[in-house]
């Protein structure tokens, strides 16, 4: 039975280019028609259409080829599950030119180390992202979505609505709001008015 090489390439964002991985896979002997890809999927996401297609294409005696192990996945559990699936099919994995042999203790240990490093790098990136968001919020650079209307515009919208000066369609046009946004703004305006009235009654003003 002739060996069939199945290539797989992945990038985390849709803006990234897969040409370098495709070129590397072709240099490793994979035909262009046998290369499956996922664009915009993280390595922590096991449910990837390109990966599913690549694994489905692999049969007995075939080889799944990736340029780097972290392109295949960034989860120790997922990576071990993938090689177990390949082994059950009688197939093998090649990553970056290295052949994974589950029967070789040294090779198995090296694979586990690389898998752990891939997961660690993913966790580190996520932690740094969360830290950056937290710092930005503290410094006021991320204050959430700004309200479409100012407090004064909310007040005037409520006045115009309750006075019957304009219908709903006209108010939507005047304030640049969708119907749902307009009614949400009216709710906020009433809430703010009630709070103001309650505050004034407490202070006797």
Of 12, 75, 112, 180, which one is the catalytic site residue? Answer: 12
How far apart CA 16 and CA 37 sit, in angstroms, is 12
Going edge to edge, which strands form the sheet with 35-39?
35-39, 5-11, 63-66, 92-95, 98-100
How far apart CA 110 and CA 92 sit, in angstroms, is 16
How far apart CA 87 and CA 68 sit, in angstroms, is 19
Residue 121 and residue 149 in contact, taking contact as beta carbons nearer than 8 Å: no
Per-residue tokens: 45: 């996401």
Annotation says 52 is catalytic: no
3-state DSSP call for residue 97? coil
How far apart CA 70 and CA 67 sit, in angstroms, is 9
Helix, strand, coil percent values for the chain (each to nearest 5): 60, 10, 30
Active site residue ranges = 12
């Amino acid at each position: 039975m002739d060996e069939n090489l199945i290539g797989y390439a992945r990038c985390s964002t849709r803006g990234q280019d897969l040409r370098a991985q495709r070129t590397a896979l072709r240099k490793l002997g994979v035909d262009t028609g046998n290369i499956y890809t996922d664009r915009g999927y993280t390595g922590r996401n096991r449910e990837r259409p390109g990966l599913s297609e690549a694994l489905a294409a692999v049969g007995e005696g075939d080889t799944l080829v990736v340029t780097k192990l972290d392109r295949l996945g960034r989860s120790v559990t997922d990576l071990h599950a993938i090689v177990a699936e390949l082994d059950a099919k009688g197939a093998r994995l090649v990553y970056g030119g290295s052949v994974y042999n589950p029967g070789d203790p040294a090779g198995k240990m090296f694979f586990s180390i690389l898998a752990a490093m891939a997961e660690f790098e993913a966790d580190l990136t996520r932690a740094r992202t969360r830290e950056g968001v937290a710092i930005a919020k503290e410094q006021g650079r991320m204050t959430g979505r700004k309200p479409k209307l100012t407090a004064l515009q909310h007040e005037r919208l409520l006045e115009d609505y309750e006075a019957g000066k304009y219908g709903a369609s006209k108010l939507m046009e005047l304030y640049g709001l969708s119907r749902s946004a307009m009614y949400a703004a009216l709710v906020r305006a009433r809430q703010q008015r009630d709070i103001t009235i309650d505050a004034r009654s407490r202070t006797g003003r």
